[in-house]
Amino acid sequence: MKQFIKYLFATSLVLSLFSCDDEDGFYNEKYVDTTQLVTIDGDSEFHAGENLYVGSSIPRYISEPGFSDLLDIYGTTGGATAFTFSYILEKQDIDGEWIFVDFTDVSIDVQEGSAENGSFILAHAEYSQTTDEYNYYGGIPLASAGEYRLSFGVNSDSTNEVEFRSESSGNNINLNLISDMAGLDANGYYHFTVLP
């Protein structure tokens, strides 16, 4: 009986040393803070019928806080084919309420990368071996005049940053890039006006 208790104690000790209380580490999730990975072309005024273009260029090698060497995000992710991020568009109604603009039946003018659209846009900055970058460039059609705002916090906990997630395959690391963005207000919105 003493042997069994010793065996049980030793087994428990070994298992406790190898237990994982870090879910992100267990699921191969890693996070890197970076800066200015998303741009919006144009200023804060557009005309009905124009497109508002959202772009992203993510270099293969990025700086990582606390490290002197650049991080190879393509190599780290095992050759991730893309980094995804999402955004929504809202329009202010006559009562001052913000209403989601539904893109289900709207064609996004994607010139680089790809996008899926519905109640929000899921953008894919796709890897190019020619440029060694992940790129996305897509235009949202602005159908009518009014006050609008973009938000990049659809699938994230962050309000004033843009979160990218690598499209890694198999057991490779899922890399999450957390990027600040110029032009966002304190609540994470990019405001603009569409004129008739």
173 pLDDT tier (thresholds 50, 70, 90):
very high
**pLDDT tops 90 at residue 11:** no
Q: What average pLDDT does the segment 13-30 reach?
A: 51
Q: Which amino acid is at 87?
A: Y
> Residue 5 phi/psi, 5° resolution?
-65, -40
Q: What is the largest CA-CA distance in the chain?
A: 86
Question: What is the pLDDT, as a whole number, of residue 51?
Answer: 95
Pairing type for strands 82-92 and 162-166 reads antiparallel
Max mean pLDDT among 34-43, 55-64, 147-156, 180-189 falls in 55-64
Tell me the domain boundaries of the chain.
29-195
118 pLDDT tier (thresholds 50, 70, 90):
confident
Burial of 73 (C-beta count, 10 Å sphere; 0-12/13-18/19+): buried
- What tokens does 16 get? 């406790």
Start-to-end C-alpha separation, the chain:
86
96 pLDDT tier (thresholds 50, 70, 90):
very high
Cα distances (angstroms) measured from residue 106 to each of 49, 64, 101, 124, 164: 13, 38, 10, 17, 24
Half-sphere exposure for 48 (CA within 13 Å, toward CB)? 8
Question: What is the pLDDT, as a whole number, of residue 56?
Answer: 97
Q: Please, are residues 149 and 189 in contact by the beta-carbon 8 Å criterion? A: yes
For domain 29-195, the CATH architecture is: Sandwich (2.60)
